Structure 1
Amino acid sequence: MKIVVAPDSFKGSLNAVEASNAIEKGIKRASREAIIEKVPLADGGEGTAETLVMATKGRQKSVYVTGPLGEKVLANYGLLGDGKTCVIEMAQASGIGLVPKEQLNPLTATTYGTGELIKHAIDDGYRDFILALGGSATNDGGAGMLQALGMRLLDDRGQEVPAGGEGLASIRQIDMESFDPRIAACRFSIASDVENPLVGPDGASYIFGPQKGATEEMVSLLDRSMKNWANQIEKVTGIHLHDYPGAGAAGGIGGAFIAFFPAVWKRGIDVVAEHTKLQYAMQDADLVITGEGKVDVQTASGKTAMGVTQAAKKLNIPTVILSGTVGSGFQALYDYGVISVMSIIDRPMSLEEAMNETASLLEKKTEQVIRMFFHEQISLEKAGGKTT
């Protein structure tokens, strides 16, 4: 029997590789004969670079860049095992995790460091990029990133506007003369599941601003500033980003990629699955086990477990999802070919206990799954049936 193990990370407890190893141990406790194919995954959020680097036997490079509040931070970007592809997580340079909660301020937070990461990689000779959008502390529409790459954003006096979302309101001219010409020769795969537009009630400021420290008044100001940014972009490029799906991703940096980069948008899980060769690993498999920290109605919108399930369904392979927490609405996953969604929690315990014991809990639950699966297989064979 061949079993494909393809989990995401269990955030705060295990990365995807560690989760794969725990599941593998559980399988081996139930069956020494099983052939196990491990494919650690991510959905384009934090941890994507680490997962892809480990899965492809690549490496990471560390550089100092500008953090969200203008301070210097040490950020990593991934270099995949193919020797050609660079993976950049904007959260490494511009992430909310870099800012103490009481200092969050989307009016001034900048994506400048994300642009510096891209420039470092281009200087090193890379032209193929995966950009993982998510976990940002910013709402500057990607303006800081563009400035780091040479674009000048000028006010009515011809001066550079200040950093952050508030500065977007002052832009009157976009000067692209010094914008890095090497960008045009690059290829960017944007890993994001966000479909929000740039401005309006469903846009970057209203939907994501409060998570980044924006008050009600700040949200209104940020949205007006973002609208001016969209107006200025349309003057230069002819692209109407205001209601463009995905433009609002990661504080509006999605709009910058749409307008100024040779970019292709894909679901995060699809980008990762492609580079980890998930579909190839699934050939001739009898069972797929995936998992992540929480499974609920949002999982079906494009999280790792959903992407794995869809890939397995194409090959008529049953999928089991293991999760730390199973929330409301998870039943929707059964419509996509999942045969079971299970919490790994086996007794009453605190969140702290669960996070400390995730590896052993995942191992135990996997063993139970495999024993049940083998029992079903034997029963079917005795009855003269066959699996589907």
Structure 2
Amino acid sequence: MRVVLAPDSFKGTISAARAAEALAEGWSSEDPDADIVPRPMADGGEGTVAAFAAAHPGAVRMPVVVDGPAGSPVDTSWLLLPPSAEQQGGTAVIDLASTSGIELLDGLRPWDADSTGFGQAIAAALGHGVSRLVLGIGSSASTDGGTGMLRALGARFLTASGTETVPGARGLRDVERLDLSGLLPAPETSVLTDVTNPLTGPRGAAEVFGPQKGMHDAGDRAQADAALGRLATLLGLDPETPGAGAAGGVGGALIVWGARLLPGAQEVARLVGLAEAISGADVVVTGEGSYDGQSGDGKVPSFVAGLAEDAGASPMLVAGRIAPDADPSLFRIAMSLTELAGSAEASLADPARWLRDAGARLAVEARRTGR
């Protein structure tokens, strides 16, 4: 039996690569002859670099120290994919989650967190000589409109008197002038995101994503929204552009820089060869930390399930939790680690253990039914 394991990360608890490994260990314990093919996935958020590293054995992690979302140093890395005939300088894969992500904060900083570290990692990759960038922009900590990132790439954001603005959304309110003369030119750049929200308005970066970054007051969100709108005018960006609101406005800043925004799960799947791996598979197992009502909208599990169906394979789901509003009908079997462990606390404490348990149970069921 050919089994493809293509989970996303279980955010904040276990990486996609480790989740696939644990599922494989569990499956093999019940079906040691299975042909197991791990293809850990991502949609542009946490685990994007790891997914590419798992799919490209020749890739090299390039260490870099950046200013994290709170301004303190963060030891991280970007991934260098080997040069090819098409990309002589190689491709850099960089995720915002590991440089300016919300998981890097000890406490939320809605006005002061910024995206500088992400820009510093991009600048380091450009300094190395890469000819292509693949950027994952999920899990942002800030609502700075991408000003921190652009500043790290050479842009200047000024008050009316010509002084530099402070980082984050706080400084964004004071931006009156731009100086883009020192901005580094963009190479071929693909941006992976599952967010199509505009920059401003009721579906914009501040209103929709501000609360999860600590911006709970409606008046604060209105201030941030207005500041993002002024920034868009200065940058010459249509704030209604789909995806401009991704990562607190980093999506819009990257559009202005010359990047292309692409559906995260779809592009990661293409670049790691997921469709080829699934071809001829009997079973495809995917998963994520919380499978909820939004998981059917371009997230990894629903996308992988579609590929499995197209290939004639049985799609199966393992999630940390399956929310009451979720529709798991895409999958022949759907398992919740919370239910297997008896509580959310138990599953979160040792997700690898319960993923191994889930893998073993799925193998037994697949063998019983002939997949």
Give me the TM-score of the superposition, normalised by structure 1: 0.87
Mark the runs of 5 or more structure 1 residues left unpaired by the alignment.
378-386
**Amino acid paired to 2:56:** T
Give 1:160's match in structure 2, choosing from 161, 164, 169: 164
Change over 3 Å in CA distance of 1:202–1:345 after alignment to 2:
closer
Change over 3 Å in CA distance of 1:55–1:229 after alignment to 2:
same
Q: Is the 8 A contact 2:235 2:256 kept in 1?
A: yes
**Structure number, greater radius of gyration:** 1
Quote the Cα distance in structure 2 between the aligned partners of 1:12 and 1:137.
14
**Amino acid paired to 2:284:** V
Quote the Cα distance in structure 2 between the aligned partners of 1:67 and 1:18.
25
Q: Is the 8 A contact 1:150 1:176 kept in 2?
A: yes
Change over 3 Å in CA distance of 1:22–1:68 after alignment to 2:
closer
2:275 equivalent to 1:275? no
1:347 deviation in Å?
5.3
Matches within 5 A, 1:170-249: 170-181=174-185, 183=186, 186-216=187-217, 217-234=219-236, 239-240=237-238, 242-249=239-246
Q: Is the 8 A contact 1:195 1:246 kept in 2?
A: yes
**Amino acid paired to 1:360:** R
Aligned residue pair count: 364
Matches within 5 A, 1:347-386: 349-377=342-370
Matches within 5 A, 1:1-388: 1-57=1-57, 58-80=59-81, 84-101=90-107, 104-181=108-185, 183=186, 186-216=187-217, 217-234=219-236, 239-240=237-238, 242-261=239-258, 263-331=259-327, 333-334=328-329, 337-345=330-338, 349-377=342-370
Q: Percent identity?
A: 35
Moved more, 341-350 or 284-293: 341-350
Moved more, 190-199 or 285-294: 285-294
Change over 3 Å in CA distance of 1:347–1:340 after alignment to 2:
closer
Q: Is the 8 A contact 1:171 1:232 kept in 2?
A: no
1:45 deviation in Å?
1.0
Change over 3 Å in CA distance of 1:82–1:362 after alignment to 2:
farther
Give deviations 1:214-266, integer Å, cap 9, x for gaps: 242321211111111111112xxxx31x22221111111111011122x2222
Change over 3 Å in CA distance of 1:81–1:359 after alignment to 2:
farther
Q: Is the 8 A contact 1:41 1:269 kept in 2?
A: yes
1:208 deviation in Å?
1.5
1:298 alignment partner, SS class: coil
Give me the TM-score of the superposition, normalised by structure 2: 0.91
2:275 alignment partner, SS class: helix
Change over 3 Å in CA distance of 1:324–1:70 after alignment to 2:
closer
Quote the Cα distance in structure 2 between the aligned partners of 1:75 and 1:269.
23
1:277 deviation in Å?
0.8
Q: After the TM superposition, list the runs of 4 or more consecutive aligned residues in structure 1 that deviate by more than 6 angstroms.
A: none
1:330 alignment partner, SS class: coil
**Amino acid paired to 2:332:** I
Mark the runs of 5 or more structure 2 residues left unpaired by the alignment.
85-89
Change over 3 Å in CA distance of 1:159–1:341 after alignment to 2:
same
